[in-house]
Structure 1
Amino acid sequence: MALSGICMALFHKERTGKGQYIDVSMMDGAVTWLYAAASDYFASGKVPERGSNRLDGQFAFYNVYKTKDKKYLTVGASEFKFWKRICELIEKPEWISLHEGSEEVQEKLKQKLTQLFKQENQAYWIELLASEETCVSPVNDIDQIFKDPQVIERELFKEMNHPLAGTIKQIGFPIKFSETQGEIYSHAPILGEHTEEILSKLNYSNDHIEQFRKNGVIGQKLSLNI
């Protein structure tokens, strides 16, 4: 939200020559994510119940299901073509016409899908369904995320050297540019690592810095093999 606001303000400044103050709060941003539930509430005046809306479990085709090995699948087949392909692959053609069925139909379908997906491990269902146009994906644990081929291909997993910890793992830069590729150029700073550099830039002399150190204002000088 802050980044979007800054970009918009810079664009406004280029057009008008006027700067402006930007006020962004995390709460405001979080409230805007309630748009789906809020639109129903504003229209009807009724507080929505969990599992009663299209995208939070009302329909069997848009839900999360547990597998035999206690992992999970996410099914997002809201479009009929995706649901149809799922039913074909799991050999349940009789379910195809039930895509937008009544509440009673959806409850029965959810129970049947719950029982079905528990019969095999997650890997089985991913191999069967995820390579097709079904909108079925695994719900990954954190270790699975960084082994995912797409995550690796997009360079979202990086390793770098740290002067104290050795080789450490990092999340990569998520935005790709054609001319100015983002990269991790430095480790997270160690406590006090840049104290002298910053004080020097603020025009404090070496004598002043040493006096600060003697008086306990700053910590002892770091000795790192960087």
Structure 2
Amino acid sequence: LSIGSLEPQFSGRLCDTLGIPEMKSYGLSQNPEHQQKLKAAIKKAISDKTLEQWHAIFADQDACVEPVLTISEAAGHPQIQARDMVIEVDRGDGSFQKQLGHPIKFSQTPCQSKFTGRVLGADNDLLSSK
């Protein structure tokens, strides 16, 4: 579970959702003891449910809490799909390589990805000769 509830409104929602509203004031505290108590309370609270359960609970909460995804899960995420962030680039031999798309989308100048890298092992001789 990735928790990035750094601003007061987000840390407040986080604490409310986790059932630890008494910890709201600790979210922005500079006191290391408060920070440790808050971290311990969050750790205890999130250990009571599965990642899937927390994902469902936080799905409608604007608290900057999201599941940590595997590469495959991230590639299939609706936002990644909608922004064309995983693209297939022609290798020139009839096969394609999946790679990250361009994060910045230009309205009048579409980005082009043409380089797929070298074939695995293509530089072995060169590297072993050094």
Identify which of 106, 112, 118 aligns with 2:41. Answer: 112
Match of 1:95 among 13, 16, 23: 23
- Structure 1 pair 164–107 and aligned structure 2 pair: CA distance change class (3 A): same
Q: Which amino acid aligns with 2:79?
A: Q
- Summarize deviations over 1:154-206 as a string: whole Å, max 9, x none: 1011124445473432222222111111133x463778xxxxxxxxxxxxxxx
SS in 2 for 1:139: coil
TM norm structure 2: 0.73
TM-score norm. by structure 1 comes to: 0.45
- Is the contact between residue 102 and residue 111 of structure 2 (CA under 8 Å) also seen in structure 1? yes
Give the Cα separation in 2 of the matches to 1:189 and 1:141: 23
Percent identity reads: 29
Q: C-alpha separation between the residues in 2 aligned to 1:84 and 1:189?
A: 46
1:100–1:177 CA distance, 2 compared to 1 (3 A): closer
Confirm or deny that 1:80 pairs with 2:13. no
Greater relative contact order (Cα 8 A, min sep 6): structure 1 or 2? 2
Larger Rg: 1
Residues 54-113 of structure 1: CA distance to partner in whole angstroms, max 9, x if unpaired? xxxxxxxxxxxxxxxxxxx22222211111111222222222233234322221221121
Gaps of 5+ in 2: 120-130
1:177 is matched with which residue?
106
Q: Does 1:153 align with 2:88?
A: no
Instruction: Report the counterpart of residue 128 of structure 2 in structure 1.
Output: none
Taking the aligned partners of 1:158 and 1:113, their CA distance within structure 2 comes to 37
The corresponding residue for 1:132 is 61
Q: 1:130 deviation in Å? A: 4.5
The amino acid across from 2:97 in the alignment is I
Letter of the 1:144 counterpart = E
Partner Cα separation in structure 1 for residue 71 and residue 52 of structure 2: 16
Q: In the comparison of the two structures, how many residue pairs are matched?
A: 118
